[in-house]
Amino acid sequence: MDEERRDFDQEAADWDNPGRVKMAQNIAAAIKKSVKINRDMEVLDFGCGTGLLALELQPLVHELTCVDSSAGMLKVLSNKIEERQLNNVRPLLLDVEKGDQLIGAYDLVISSMTLHHIRDIKPLLAQFLRILKPGGWLCLADLDLDQGHFHGANHNQGVFHFGFDRKLLGKDLEDAGFFQVEFSTGAEVMRFYPGGVKPFTIFVATARKASAGA
């Protein structure tokens, strides 16, 4: 897998196609089944893109911090915030691959289709644990093992994992200090690949940080 990074700034304007919108809706539904969302929650969306997932939860929570390494993606999100007059969504440009650190304290951290773009996820899981409040939740959505077919010719552009083995990721979460780790299938996407068309499943992993004194 190559070191070249995909230019998400260039893709941002056309990012919100029907397939991605539907995926975000399905993942949001899976998160809401696993975590009791409430209006007091401070939420961080890591790798938010144009905010498709975050904005599904926006009416249900107190505040959303939307983190991404692409200024172009965040510009599209900022336009949505302005158009919809949202006062509880804050975009934040940040790149953990360049050494940036997550800041703040959150009741819920969410991330969709971003983990496979992170070279080493273990330090990131440690950051997630650090910024979560005691008893807080982590919800990660990403590809099940896909042999590189999902991204096709683009697999060498900043794709460091061809999906994830649920059992191994679960162990990584537990080793990082999370408990109550559970997996469900959040969405299914049909895609062309060199051999034809096939379904790709997207899991939602939920995990929790221990409460204070636990």
- What residue spans define the domains of the chain? 8-208
Long-range contacts (CB closer than 8 Å, 24 or more residues apart) made by 54-60: 54/89, 54/110, 55/80, 55/86, 55/89, 56/24, 56/25, 56/28, 57/28, 57/31, 57/32, 57/110, 58/86, 58/88, 58/89, 60/32
CATH C-level class of 8-208: alpha beta
Sequence-ordered list of residues with C-beta below 8 angstroms from that of 83, at least 6 positions apart, any chain: none
- Give me the chain's average pLDDT, please: 90
pLDDT at 1: 40
Q: Which stretch of 59-63, 107-111, 113-117, 133-137 has the lowest confidence by average pLDDT?
A: 113-117
pLDDT at 176: 98
- The answer to whether residue 213 scores a pLDDT higher than 80 is no
pLDDT at 214: 55
Extended beta strands in 24-170, E state: 42-46, 63-68, 89-93, 106-112, 132-143
pLDDT at 139: 98
Sequence-ordered list of residues with C-beta below 8 angstroms from that of 195, at least 6 positions apart, any chain: 149
207-212 mean pLDDT: 92
58 Rama sector, left if φ>0, alpha if ψ -120 to 50, beta otherwise? alpha
pLDDT at 160: 86
pLDDT range class, residue 2, cuts 50, 70, 90: very low
pLDDT at 152: 61
- The answer to whether residue 14 scores a pLDDT higher than 80 is no
pLDDT range class, residue 197, cuts 50, 70, 90: confident
pLDDT range class, residue 3, cuts 50, 70, 90: very low
- The answer to whether residue 126 scores a pLDDT higher than 60 is yes
pLDDT at 150: 75
Q: What are the φ/ψ torsions at residue 173 (nearest 5 degrees)?
A: -65, -45
Who has greater pLDDT, 157 or 170? 170
Who has greater pLDDT, 86 or 155? 86
How far is Cα 138 from Cα 150, in angstroms, rounded to an integer?
A: 25
Q: Is 173 helix (H, G, I), strand (E, B) or coil?
A: helix
42-71 mean pLDDT: 97
Q: Which stretch of 3-7, 66-70, 161-165 has the lowest confidence by average pLDDT?
A: 3-7
How far is Cα 20 from Cα 52, in angstroms, rounded to an integer?
A: 8
